[in-house]
């Protein structure tokens, strides 16, 4: 095929076109313009390269295109799990710091799945081709085990963050405000220092990340909050992440309890055993808690008194 035929076939295959573009631009030839390119313009940019260069890049793509059942599932699912994709992107950037400037800025999070696929393709290329042959087999094993570790770790991370309700705007706003409150605090503990570092900008190696801003739509806000908690173990240590998660969760539980009990006062009365038994029967029949049943009985008795 000639140059035009090769590039024409790339007009709808953005993954392949992006890999070729990154491969051909090279680490030391990237310019500011290359970081601002739109994905739909990639094929036009490829016309600056000779047919031999394009064929060489295509050969590299065929050899090092990343393949994994998880990626295939995400690609087949029209409603991709962007929370999971964002998590995997952060895993890659934190594990392979040298790749943080590999993907053009204008493409990050425009299409998270495309971003992830290309990043994994480039990881394959970087770690299988650019390292010497002596390390080739070790690198192959390491890359595969790394991605599987990322995937396997997600289950426990997902479960530990199930207390967050992605549909509860009030809860999400409170979490965001709680995290942001660390910005102006005095640094006393290691957790204070960590929180100040991650406020709003999430200062891990993942450059264009979901961000914590109160003005975001509910879905985006939820993705940002989930991203914060899902990536804590990568940007800190597992024990610190667990403690911080527990601390925020406990603070929210206390707030929720205070809100639910606002306008209430505690009371302690002795009841005869047979009266307590009847109270339980009434509560069960009305499907109410004991205190709610007592409130209902008092309200009804008070109405009769007024009448």
User: What pLDDT digit, counting tens, does each position of 274-305 carry?
Assistant: 888 888 888 888 788 888 888 888 888 888 87
* pLDDT given at position 137: 43
Mean pLDDT calculated for residue range 143-171:
87
Q: Which residue has the tokens 């087949």?
A: 76
- Burial pattern 20-47, b for ≥16 Cβ within 10 A else e, equals bbbbbbeeeeeeeeeeebebeebbebbe
Instruction: State if pTM tops 0.85.
Output: no
What dihedral angle (degrees, nearest 10) is formed by the CA atoms of 274, 279, 282, 286? Answer: -160
| Rounded average pLDDT over 170-184 | 80
Q: Which of 27-36, 88-97, 123-132 has the highest mean pLDDT?
A: 88-97
Q: Is the dihedral of CA 287, 288, 290, 295 positive or negative?
A: negative
* CB neighbours of residue 304 within 10 Å: 7
Task: Quote the CA–CA distance of 209 and 70 in Å, as a whole number.
Answer: 22
CA separation for the pair 163, 176 (Å, rounded): 15
Question: Smallest Cα–Cα separation from 172: which of 127, 146, 210, 132?
Answer: 210
Percent of the chain with pLDDT over 70: 74
- Calculate the alpha carbon distances from 32 to 36, 74, 210 in Å: 7, 31, 23
N-term to C-term CA, the chain: 95
Instruction: Name residue, tokens 């053009």.
Output: 104
Contact 188, 194 (CB under 8 A): no
Cβ atoms of 186 and 192 within 8 Å: the answer is: yes
Give me the helix-helix angle, 136-160 and 82-95, nearest 10°. 140
User: 3-class SS at 214?
Assistant: coil
Given a contact cutoff of 8 angstroms between Cβ atoms, the answer to whether 255 and 174 are in contact is: yes
Look at residue 249 and tell me whether its pLDDT is greater than 60.
Answer: yes
The answer to whether 36 and 45 are in contact (CB under 8 A) is no
Return d(Cα 136, Cα 85) in angstroms, integer: 28
Percent of the chain with pLDDT over 90: 10
Of the pLDDT bands very low, low, confident and very high (cuts 50, 70, 90), residue 167 is: very high
| Spatial separation of the C-alpha atoms in residues 212 and 222, rounded to whole Å | 9
């Amino acid at each position: 095929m000639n140059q035009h035929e090769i590039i024409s076939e790339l007009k709808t295959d953005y993954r392949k076109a992006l890999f070729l573009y990154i491969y051909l631009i090279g680490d030391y030839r990237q310019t500011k313009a290359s970081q601002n390119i739109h994905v739909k313009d990639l094929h036009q940019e490829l016309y600056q390269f000779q047919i031999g260069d394009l064929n060489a890049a295509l050969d590299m793509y065929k050899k090092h295109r990343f393949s994994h059942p998880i990626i295939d599932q995400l690609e087949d699912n029209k409603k991709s799990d962007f929370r999971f994709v964002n998590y995997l992107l952060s895993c890659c950037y934190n594990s392979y710091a040298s790749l943080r400037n590999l993907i053009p800025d204008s493409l990050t999070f425009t299409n998270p799945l495309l971003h992830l696929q290309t990043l994994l393709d480039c990881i394959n290329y970087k770690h299988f081709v650019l390292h010497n042959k002596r390390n080739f087999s070790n690198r192959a094993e390491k890359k595969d085990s790394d991605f599987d570790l990322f995937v396997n770790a997600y289950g426990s991370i997902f479960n530990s963050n199930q207390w967050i309700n992605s549909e509860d705007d009030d809860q999400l706003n409170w979490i965001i405000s709680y995290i942001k409150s660390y910005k102006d605090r005095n640094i006393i503990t290691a957790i204070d220092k960590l929180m100040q570092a991650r406020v709003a900008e999430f200062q891990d190696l993942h450059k264009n990340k979901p961000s914590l801003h109160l003005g975001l739509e509910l879905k985006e806000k939820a993705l940002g909050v989930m991203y914060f908690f899902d990536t804590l173990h990568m940007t800190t240590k597992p024990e610190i992440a667990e403690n911080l998660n527990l601390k925020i969760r406990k603070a929210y539980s206390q707030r929720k309890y205070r809100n639910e009990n606002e306008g209430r006062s505690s009371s302690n009365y002795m009841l005869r055993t047979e009266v307590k038994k009847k109270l339980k029967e009434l509560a069960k029949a009305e499907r109410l808690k004991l205190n709610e049943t007592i409130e209902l009985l008092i309200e009804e008795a008070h109405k009769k008194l007024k009448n």
